[in-house]
């Protein structure tokens, strides 16, 4: 069991309303649980961003800086391979190589 600490914080009204609604709908046991989950998600997100930053720094140390052109080319290749699973293909412009056409 983890040790709990009391917290006093000012929270934006719309966030407090969202927390209260989550409790009312049974999506959170109480507001403390809601805040705990939010802090846990934020902490996990920050750890992932740090791991990505560390990976990119190591990669660039070994292979050189990733250029804007390389990022643009990688994004273009990813879009070309993407399969649209939601929406209409025409919402996203022409479909590469005829994929996604009805």
Which of these, 49, 50, 11, lies nearest to 31 by C-alpha position?
11
Percent of the chain with pLDDT over 70: 84
For the cut 90, the answer to whether the pLDDT of residue 98 exceeds it is no
Q: What is the mean pLDDT of residues 24-32?
A: 97
| Whole-angstrom distance, CA of residue 84 vs CA of residue 89 | 7
pLDDT of residue 91: 62
pLDDT at residue 102, as a whole number:
44
Buried b (16+ CB within 10 A) or exposed e, 46-56: eeeeeeeeeee
Number of folded domains in the chain? 1
Report if residue 1 sits inside a domain.
no
pLDDT band per the 50, 70, 90 thresholds, residue 48: very high
Domain range for 33 is 13-97
Nearest to 22 by CA among 32, 7, 10: 32
pLDDT tens track for 70-96: 999 999 999 999 988 887 666 656 555
Q: Is residue 78 part of a domain?
A: yes
On whether residue 5 sits in a domain, the answer given is: no
Signed CA dihedral, 17, 18, 21, 27: sign only = negative
Extract the tokens encoding 26.
């049974």
Choose between 10 and 100: higher pLDDT.
10
């Amino acid at each position: 069991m983890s040790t709990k600490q009391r917290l006093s914080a000012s929270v934006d009204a719309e966030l407090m309303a969202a927390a209260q609604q989550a409790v009312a709908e049974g999506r959170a046991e109480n507001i403390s649980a809601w805040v705990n989950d939010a802090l846990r998600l934020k902490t996990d997100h920050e750890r992932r961003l740090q791991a990505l930053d560390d990976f990119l720094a190591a990669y660039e140390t070994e292979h050189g800086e990733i250029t804007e052109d390389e990022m643009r080319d990688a994004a273009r290749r990813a879009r070309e391979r993407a399969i649209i699973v939601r929406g209409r293909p025409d919402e996203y412009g022409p479909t590469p190589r005829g994929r996604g056409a009805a």
